[in-house]
Amino acid sequence: MQTQKLKVGIVGGTGYTGVELLRLLCVHPNVTLTVITSRGEAGLAVADMFSSLRGYVDLTFTDPALANLTDCDIVFFATPNGIAMQQTRDLLTKGVRVIDLAADFRIKDIPTWEKWYSMTHACPDLVTTAVYGLPEMNREAIKTAQLVANPGCYPTAVQLGFMPLLEADVVDTGYLIADAKSGVSGAGRKAEVHSLFSEAGDNFKAYGVAGHRHLPEISQGLTYMAKGKVGFTFVPHLTPLIRGIHATLYAKLIKPTDLQALFEARYKDERFVDVLAKGAHPETRSVRGSNICRIAVHQPQGSDTVVVLSVIDNLVKGAAGQAVQNMNIMFDFPENTGLELVPLLP
């Protein structure tokens, strides 16, 4: 096991995932924060923007053009889609390992990615070598990865919920439904009408029913688990929460199965997946601020319908926490290092 202090860089340190990375990494015992970039806030002290980090982070934001990222052992991209793919090749060439929290390397089929993200991919060859960073599915590949595509928030909650069912081949793979709800921080730290307090507060609505960018990412993962094509419907919703994702998943059972035993066995060695007791209903507040996914599985009225309830904090297990979990795996640190976070309640 390595004990050195990693030199860590963060590209895009002013968004919600960026500040969440800072919160987690500034107290990580194996990390030295080396550089944090921001084009718009270059020269500003990080703690002057985020007072929660006073006494923990003494860096100032650096203009990306001046940042010496190649001095780092690992660089996290907490940037909008399309940024990491412009800079990753040079970093990899210099021996720097990369974790991208955006979607640039998640989807293996390039035409599909370009369709959903409305841009031409700058380095499609790197997509083939990138490892999808869902530890519960790809832990061994993550260990030696040079480039990790950190999963999206909805995809994390949905895939962890369906995984035991698909791996055991006990449900109809042609009929999978995810009805998922997210807090407004999932939209990022930018001014948009739909996420204004007076718009999102005291309100609840579906969006992206005709198609959401996370749909092909989730479908790709479910297809991998099922070892074949799946029929999948995904409907996201916006809730008046700051943090949290609640995914209600539906599938049809095709063989008699002790569902509780199946889920408990699949996740018994997973520190960050908590299978609740039979009949339980997980709450988003039970994972707020933590890297935990809590899951409960139901079979209402003893029918052939399986209902899985999966909750995460979209900024932690759905983004920055999972990225740190991936870093720990890549550098052979205990997987829970820096991530033993008790959820915030109330």
Note the pLDDT of residue 197.
Answer: 82
pLDDT higher than threshold 70 for residue 2:
no
Give me 39's structure tokens. Answer: 């084009």
pLDDT band at residue 4, thresholds of 50, 70 and 90? confident
Note the pLDDT of residue 191.
Answer: 72
In this structure, the answer to whether residues 87 and 159 fall within a common structural domain is no
In this structure, the answer to whether residues 167 and 296 fall within a common structural domain is yes
pLDDT higher than threshold 90 for residue 195:
no
Residue 285 located in a structural domain? yes
pLDDT above 90 as % of the chain: 92
In this structure, the answer to whether residues 28 and 169 fall within a common structural domain is no
In this structure, the answer to whether residues 165 and 288 fall within a common structural domain is yes
Note the pLDDT of residue 3.
Answer: 62
In this structure, the answer to whether residues 158 and 114 fall within a common structural domain is no
d(CA 93, CA 87): 11
> Which of residues 96, 129, 162 is at a domain's end?
129
Q: Which residues are catalytic?
A: 153
Residue 173 located in a structural domain? yes
Domain count, the chain: 2
- Give Cα separations from 51 to 45, 48, 56, 57, 235 (angstroms): 10, 6, 10, 10, 36
| CATH number, residue 182 | 3.30.360.10
Give residue 186's domain range. 154-313
In this structure, the answer to whether residues 112 and 13 fall within a common structural domain is yes
Residue 279 located in a structural domain? yes
In this structure, the answer to whether residues 207 and 112 fall within a common structural domain is no
| CATH number, residue 40 | 3.40.50.720
Note the pLDDT of residue 216.
Answer: 97
Residue 204 located in a structural domain? yes
d(CA 266, CA 250): 19
For 307, the enclosing helix (H) or strand (E) is strand 305-312
In this structure, the answer to whether residues 307 and 212 fall within a common structural domain is yes
Note the pLDDT of residue 259.
Answer: 98
In this structure, the answer to whether residues 116 and 200 fall within a common structural domain is no
pLDDT band at residue 190, thresholds of 50, 70 and 90? confident
Long-range contacts, 266-272 (Cβ 8 Å, 24+): 266/163, 266/164, 266/167, 266/168, 267/136, 267/164, 267/295, 270/136, 271/335, 271/336, 272/135, 272/317, 272/325, 272/335, 272/336, 272/339
pLDDT in tens, 43-102: 999 999 999 999 999 999 999 999 999 999 999 999 999 999 999 999 999 999 999 999
Note the pLDDT of residue 188.
Answer: 78
Give the pLDDT mean for 202-229.
Answer: 96
| Summary mean pLDDT of the chain | 96
pTM for this prediction: 0.96
Q: Do 320 and 264 meet the contact criterion of CB atoms below 8 Å apart?
A: no
Residue 39 located in a structural domain? yes
Residue 203 located in a structural domain? yes
In this structure, the answer to whether residues 201 and 267 fall within a common structural domain is yes
In this structure, the answer to whether residues 180 and 76 fall within a common structural domain is no
In this structure, the answer to whether residues 213 and 257 fall within a common structural domain is yes
Name the 3-class secondary structure at 295. strand
Residue 325 located in a structural domain? no
d(CA 165, CA 261): 11
